[in-house]
Amino acid sequence: MLPPGSTIGILGGGQLGRMMALAAAPLGLRVHVYAPEDESPAAEVAARHTRGGYDDRPALAAFAASVDAITYEFENVPAACAALLAGLKPVRPGPKALEVAQDRLTEKDFVRALGIGTAPYAAAATAEEARAAFAALGAKAAIVKTRRLGYDGKGQARVASAEEAAAAVAAFAAPCILEGLVAFRQEISVVAARGADGRIEAYDPVENRHREGILRETLAPARLGAGAGAEAWRIAGAILEALDYVGVIGVEMFALPGGGLLVNELAPRVHNSGHWTMDACAVSQFEQHVRAVAGWPLKPALRFADCAMENLIGDEVERWPAIAAEPNAALHLYGKGEARPGRKMGHVNRLFPMGGRP
Ligand code: AMP
């Protein structure tokens, strides 16, 4: 267990790092943020900040020397950066989680190998392969996704023919996968944590609503049929074990009309669909993550209220005065200057008694 006064290094300067730093403070743990930007939401609330690139080996080595353990708030940490740091200090979650989650093909192969369902998929690096992949899926429509570096719906295209699939892969000019379209009933996620001692704590599955590929709203708990919640937990637990994971993970799933679950995506970090835990649970996902990274025991992931989390995207943040006046709303703003379209500026957790969410 890292004692109070120890320092956790965080790669990345966004709002997730900010909320981790804010959660570390009450435990007496300090945070050193490493990010390429001059100013960032995380650096603003961290004890220390280094501005550096993820390929700047001397700067990364100096950063590692100044901290006791290292984590990250985004999954696209370059593999060479993670390997360098892991040779110097504990990196949690470990490089295996990054390797799996950074590539949609590796991720789907990994999930399937655990006997867990995914959408049907096929790899396609060229227009030719895209035509073949579309035919192999045998579906009327598919989604082309770049294997790497997609987020918030970017690097994705819906296609309705082999020719459209070929054109999409050619336009991305990057290795892709094609996924059969899933006619899901709901999108859900499980945010769960595994401690350094192997103990797992999972929050209640939640229901997520997206618009234009961006998460808009999370409802906690999800309205699931009998057995689906336990199955969602089982899936998250199997993934944590297989990765020998330490920290918080977000597992996005599709709930099917018949009751089955398919895994869509893994996020090897704290997750936007876990922000509700800040106000509705005995321990937030951010404190839970800091505990895991610092080798502290996890706390039970108990929920004591229903919650509807709303992301404040772009100029929606201008509603802050009205939200600040709502009695049951907890407002979280990220300190970002410019409210550009599509930018996550903050979120609000609206609380309801257990079982009382409208
Ligand atoms: P992703 O980046 O993989 O999380 O995809 C972004 C969003 O696109 C998801 O949250 C779903 O709403 C939708 N989506 C992705 N993959 C599929 C699929 N195979 N079938 C249906 N919808 C999908």
Using CA atoms, how far residue 103 sits from 46, 99, 106, 239, in Å, is: 30, 7, 5, 16
Q: Residue-wise over 311-336: b if at least 16 C-beta within 10 A, else e?
A: bbbeebbeeeeebeeeeebbbbbbeb
Per 3-state DSSP, the chain is made up of helix, strand and coil in percentages (nearest 5) of 30, 30, 40
Which residues lie below 8 Å from residue 321, measured CB to CB, with a gap of 6+? none
Top mutation candidate among 151, 186, 264 for ligand 1, by most atoms within 8 Å of CB: 264
Q: Is the peptide bond before 93 cis (omega within 30 degrees of 0)?
A: yes
Distance between CA atoms of 251 and 232, rounded to whole angstroms? 9
Residue with tokens 């060229």: 126
pLDDT at 213: 85
Structure tokens at 267: 């996020």
CATH 3.30.470.20: which residues of the chain? 186-352
Cβ neighbours of 183 (radius 10 Å): 8
* Domain 186-352 class in CATH: alpha beta
Query: 101 alpha carbon to ligand 1 midpoint, in Å?
Result: 15
Which residue has its alpha carbon closest to ligand 1 atom 7? Answer: 213
Residue numbers in the chain where pLDDT is lower than 50 = none
Structure tokens at 180: 């059969």
For residues 82, 83, 89, 94, the Cα torsion angle rounded to the nearest 10 degrees is: 60
Cβ neighbours of 154 (radius 10 Å): 12
Which residues lie below 8 Å from residue 212, measured CB to CB, with a gap of 6+? 153, 342
CATH 3.30.1490.20: which residues of the chain? 120-180
Residue 175 phi, psi dihedral angles, 5° rounding: -60, 135
Top mutation candidate among 111, 121, 134, 143 for ligand 1, by most atoms within 8 Å of CB: 143
What's the pTM value of the predicted model, to 2 decimals?
0.96
pLDDT at 152: 66
User: Per CATH, is 7-91 categorized as 3.40.50.720?
Assistant: no
Which residue has its alpha carbon closest to ligand 1 atom 18? Answer: 181
Which residues lie below 8 Å from residue 73, measured CB to CB, with a gap of 6+? 10, 11, 12, 13, 14, 16, 17, 20, 42, 269, 270
Residue type present at position 123: A
pLDDT digits (tens, 9 = 90+) for 47-57: 999 999 999 99
Which residue has its alpha carbon closest to ligand 1 atom 8? Answer: 213
Task: Return the half-sphere exposure (C-beta side, CA atoms, 13 A cut-off) of residue 201.
Answer: 24
Q: Do residues 73 and 31 touch, judged by C-beta distance below 8 A?
A: no
Q: Do residues 241 and 249 touch, judged by C-beta distance below 8 A?
A: no
* Domain 120-180 class in CATH: alpha beta
Residues with CB under 6 A from ligand 1: 119, 143, 150, 153, 179, 181-182, 187, 210, 213, 252, 264-265
Distance between CA atoms of 192 and 202, rounded to whole angstroms? 4
CATH 3.40.50.20: which residues of the chain? 7-91
Instruction: Specify burial of residue 164 (Cβ count, 10 A radius: 0-12, 13-18, 19+).
Output: middle
pLDDT digits (tens, 9 = 90+) for 310-352: 999 999 999 999 999 999 999 999 999 999 999 999 999 999 9
- CA-180 nearest atom, ligand 1: 19
Strands 121-124 and 69-72, by their bridges, are unpaired
Mapping DSSP to helix (H, G, I), strand (E, B) and coil, where does residue 195 land?
A: coil
